Amino acid sequence: MQADQSVGKVAAVAIDLDGTLVDSAPDLAAAANKTLHAMGAGRLAEAQIRAMIGDGLDALLQRCLQAALQREPDRDELSRGRQLMRGFYRDAVFRLGQVYPGVIPALERWQSQGLILACVTNKASEFTRPLLHNAGLERYFFAQYCADEREQRKPSPALLLQFLEEVVVAPQDCVMIGDSSHDVMAAQAAGVRAVAVSYGYGDPRAGGGLPWRTADRLDELALE
């Protein structure tokens, strides 16, 4: 389905990470459950943790603690959990995860076409760079734009606008690809076309946004 929007020729592509390029849920779930165990809390099913992904590691931790403890975690618990989970995840970034089918062929094609590719993610840079490296995806991207500050997180368009400014590309000549409503909303706020993938962790239409296109696999997506 397409939204009515004035469009130009695609010159740049911003792509979300978790749930779009890679299925990182197994590694995130492992780190979360190690954290819960270290804090004396019960283990959560991977499917339950998968449904909580999307707003960064700290938000995921808070949701996991709330579910495991059956109450809101206090400040000390959040602080301790944050330190533990970051350590567990840092030690095993992309050990169990997988690159989604169709991602590498799509990146290869777009790179060969001369498109400027960037990873725009709510994940912190300390995890994004090693994950992309371990997944073999780092070489495809001009840069990674990571939400190291809360105000940078999508649905804010801040990181997307930074990318456009640095590569000197007009919003109408850019596409943002992601699996959640935050990706669609960030794209719309920046004046960029949004493409929603049908897999991943989120619901791209949850915020009322209408993506320009949808895709079951990135290598089946036409960006002309």
By the 8 A CB rule, do 28 and 47 touch? no
**Token pair 């004035």 in the structure block, residue:** 6
63 contact partners, CB below 8 Å, separation of at least 6: 52
Look up residue 56 and give its amino acid.
Answer: G
The partner residues of 116 in beta bridges, in order of sequence, read 12
**Token pair 């590498």 in the structure block, residue:** 104
DSSP string, 153-200: STTS-HHHHHHHHHHT--GGGEEEEESSHHHHHHHHHHT-EEEEESSS
Please pick, among 4, 16, 91, 216, the residue that the annotation labels catalytic: 16
Report, in this order, helix, strand and coil percent for the chain, each rounded to 5: 45, 15, 40
Phi then psi for residue 38, to 5 deg, are -65, -25
> Is 16 one of the annotated active-site residues of the chain?
yes
Q: Is 145 helix (H, G, I), strand (E, B) or coil?
A: strand
Catalytic residues: 16
